[in-house]
Amino acid sequence: MGRPRLALFALEALPNARAVRRFVADHAAEIGFVGLSNAERPAAGGLVGQVRRHLARSGMGFLPYLAVNFGLPDLLRPAAPLTQRLAGVADRPEATPLAALCRRLGIPTLTIDDVNGPEVRAALAANGCELIVTFHFDQILSGETLAAMPLGGVNVHPGLLPRHRGPVPTIHALGEGPEAFGVTVHRLAVAIDAGAILAQEAVRLPGDVTATRAAVRLHEHARGMLEGVIASFEHGAPEGRTVEPLPYCPFPDRAMLADLRRRGLKLTDARDLAEAALLSARA
């Protein structure tokens, strides 16, 4: 059957940036199209609307996490060519923002407001895509979009499904304890993080890990697992292991954040801030 033609969807941010850039560089010949989520899309309320929702649910204590994981990398991305030259890493994929890397490699890209819209369907068809891969993506694919792909889709989830379904699994794992961290590669389904499990591994992380650092390390660990899963499609579409979904784990509320603080557990710290600032200056 051969290697499938991939459509990759991602929201580039600190947790996945280096892992997804390396994945794209290694699989450029197999990737037909890359969709980059617009985190500030109107349908999600734009930047102001999203910040307001986070403040209402989680309070001011959640803002440093959002700033380090999403805000600072996004703010510094236009300066990447300069920081790359100064650091001498201009030719390294891990230090190159995803859109620029795709241009260098000749991979078509599209900034996406609606993953189920006509622009995306046209791009998938025009580039002969057979399998969708979502790698830290914040939009939900419809049944119609998935059905249009001959091989469906797979998702990288930095958590041990069916536990910690939702957008921030490492925060919930941090609250449970060090044995709760892991990675799952699973089939995409209309229900969030509920598709059949194709690969899963528990990952032991250092005791001083933050939720941010855990997400970075787990996405990097997931890259190797994803390689194996994609290779398995050469022999036909794998079915995976179906499990009963557990309750959805949303963004944390004020009570959860207060409990983590009492226990000395951190969502992010100065090391994470430095990592976010150096995304395009360190290979």
Q: Is the pLDDT of residue 1 over 70?
A: no
Q: Is the pLDDT of residue 47 over 90?
A: no
Q: Look up the pTM and report it.
A: 0.96
Average pLDDT of span 18-36? 98
The span from the CA of 58 to the CA of 46, in Å, is 18
The span from the CA of 252 to the CA of 57, in Å, is 7
Task: Tell me what percent of the residues of the chain surpass a pLDDT of 70.
Answer: 100
Average pLDDT of span 154-161? 98
| Residue, of 45 and 131, whose pLDDT is higher | 131
Q: Render pLDDT for 252-266 as a digit per residue (tens, 0 to 9).
A: 999 999 999 999 999
Average pLDDT of span 85-103? 95
Average pLDDT of span 191-196? 95
Q: Render pLDDT for 137-146 as a digit per residue (tens, 0 to 9).
A: 999 999 999 9
Q: 136 by DSSP, 3-state: which? A: coil
Task: Say if residue 211 is exposed, middle or buried (CB neighbours under 10 Å; 0-12, 13-18, 19+).
Answer: buried
| Short-list 35, 253, 245, CA closest to 126 | 35
pLDDT at 239: 87
pLDDT, averaged across the chain: 96
193: tokens are 């993080």
CATH code of the region 6-277: 3.40.50.170
Write out the DSSP string of 3-44. PPPEEEEE--STTTHHHHHHHHHHTGGGEEEEEEE-TT-GGG
